[in-house]
Amino acid sequence: MTTRIVIIGGGYVGLYAALRLQQKLRTGEAQVTVVNPENFMVYRPLLPEVASGTLEPRHAVVPLRAVLRRSRFVAGSLTSLDTEGKVATVAPEAGPELTLDYDELVLGTGALAKLLPIPGLAECGIGFNSLAEAVHLRDHVLRQLEIASATTDPELRRCALTFVFVGGGYTGVEALAELQDMATDVLAGYPELEASELRWILVEALPRILNTVSDELAEDAVCELRGRGIDVRVNTQLESAEDGVLTLSDGQEFRASTLVWVAGTKPTPLVKDLDLPVDDRGRIVVDETMRVQGRDGLWAAGDCAAVPDLVNGGVCPPTAQYAVRQGRQLGDNLAERVRGGTPVPFRYRSRGEFVTLGKNKAVGEVLGRRVAGAAAWAARRAYYATQIPTFNRTVRVLGDWLVGMPFGHDVVNLDSREQPRDAFRQAAGGRT
């Protein structure tokens, strides 16, 4: 009988599990269905480069239908799960809900920004987790430069040129560093503005930034950021953002037109409605083979799950490095299940990591050795060039990098695409 495998989430876990199943299973052994709201997988480590315009947004994603040719793809979101009857309910973008019967089901729904109850944060802030946010931030920063250069109001000018990022993990550090690098690069085209007027502030509640990497690597990153005039404030918290006025725990109060909240993530909200065992951070508890205990045929991995880390102890960190390997191992384990074999525990030892800080700038650690500057930047690019799924995407990303080498950042701000009907509405005299 054909085994019905449903994979919820087409991110790292979902895509790599499905690719592995396509590779391992013969036709007729299983029917694999992948459910994801969008028909592409976001290659999130490349989002900071999308934000700085170094990469075309479309090149930083993987088209799921094109790579999952031997699987069924459903554009939709899981809304509920009957683990007894083994039925998943999925809401497509339009129309009635679908029910998918399964024998094995994988949850790889990832994580979203974790907001704290800070007054004004939800109204004024933005996250940095999705393609839309990365694209928006690029246009937003360029728009602030235009606002500041056109206004005669000094307060508005100061507010437009103040960019605050809360959260000194690698997402916050990379996003801030890439955007600051872009803004500095395009400034030559704004004779009305002085470089010293742009304020970039990184706020971190802990005593140090990048707390998942070594002290030395974090110190290298701080030196680079401070050397570029970025105000790195550790042991500091955002207390309020009411009406666009930011209040920090060190007593400072100022207006800022840009507030990016990158202070941690939490599993997608759906997870807590599924009545599954979760840990104190809301992650689905799984065993070392990534099976949810007590629920037959249910598996989970990636940022939404607490996968035991058999190498370092504790739980695997929420990174793409781990999620890719968990996805592949899940594919292997599911193929074993289809053939009546035994699933294998997940075990992975990280070989290093990189933090990009802008063009020709990065810090990293490979096999215990520290690298910095252009060498780290080139090594990071070489690594990602070999990791991006499909030859097509690899070539497009390499093309963007190559074309970007001799040229500066592009200053074109396309934020009008966020209101594409404005011109039409105007033509209709405001009647639509």
What residue ranges bind ligand FAD (CB under 6 A)? Answer: 8-13, 35-37, 44-45, 47, 77-78, 108-110, 128-129, 171, 268, 270, 302-304, 318-321, 323
CA distances from 394 to 13, 43, 60, 205 (A): 20, 12, 10, 37
Shortest Å distance, C-beta 197 to ligand FAD: 27
Residue whose tokens read 């109850």: 117
Beta bridge partners of 202: 165, 232
Residues 6+ apart with CB under 8 A from 356: 48, 49, 174, 177, 178, 362, 377, 380
- Between 33 and 247, CB nearer to ligand FAD: 33
Shortest Å distance, C-beta 357 to ligand FAD: 12
Shortest Å distance, C-beta 271 to ligand FAD: 9
Q: Tell me which H or E stretch contains 385.
A: helix 373-387
CB atoms within 10 A of CB 122: 11
Shortest Å distance, C-beta 46 to ligand FAD: 8
- Between 248 and 305, CB nearer to ligand FAD: 305
Beta bridge partners of 75: 36
Q: From CA 17, how far away is CA 32, in angstroms rounded?
A: 10
Strand order in the sheet with 245-248: 238-240, 245-248, 253-255
Residue whose tokens read 């599924």: 274
- Between 247 and 268, CB nearer to ligand FAD: 268
- Between 148 and 173, CB nearer to ligand FAD: 173
Shortest Å distance, C-beta 123 to ligand FAD: 22
Cα–Cα nearest to 9, from 36, 44, 47: 36
- Between 142 and 323, CB nearer to ligand FAD: 323
- Between 35 and 363, CB nearer to ligand FAD: 35
- Between 109 and 257, CB nearer to ligand FAD: 109
Shortest Å distance, C-beta 77 to ligand FAD: 4
- For residue 260, how far is the Cα from the chain centroid? 14
Shortest Å distance, C-beta 344 to ligand FAD: 20
- Between 22 and 240, CB nearer to ligand FAD: 22
CA angle 315, 319, 321 (to 5 degrees): 105
Cα–Cα nearest to 366, from 351, 378, 381: 351
Beta bridge partners of 194: none
At what angle are helices 170-186 and 131-150 packed, to 10 degrees?
40
- Between 181 and 247, CB nearer to ligand FAD: 181
- Between 33 and 129, CB nearer to ligand FAD: 129
- Residue 282 φ/ψ region, left for φ over 0, alpha for ψ in the -120 to 50 degree band, beta for the rest: left
CB atoms within 10 A of CB 344: 12
- Between 159 and 168, CB nearer to ligand FAD: 168
Q: From CA 364, how far away is CA 63, in angstroms rounded?
A: 29
Residue whose tokens read 């000094």: 154
Contact 397, 46 (CB under 8 A): yes
Shortest Å distance, C-beta 415 to ligand FAD: 20
Which amino acid is located at 432 in the chain?
Answer: T
Shortest Å distance, C-beta 222 to ligand FAD: 18
The residue sitting closest to ligand FAD, measured at its beta carbon, is: 11
Shortest Å distance, C-beta 93 to ligand FAD: 12
Shortest Å distance, C-beta 43 to ligand FAD: 8
| Residue 9 structure tokens | 């989430």
Q: Convert 370-382 to b/e letters by CB count within 10 Å (16 or more is b).
A: ebbeeebbebbbe
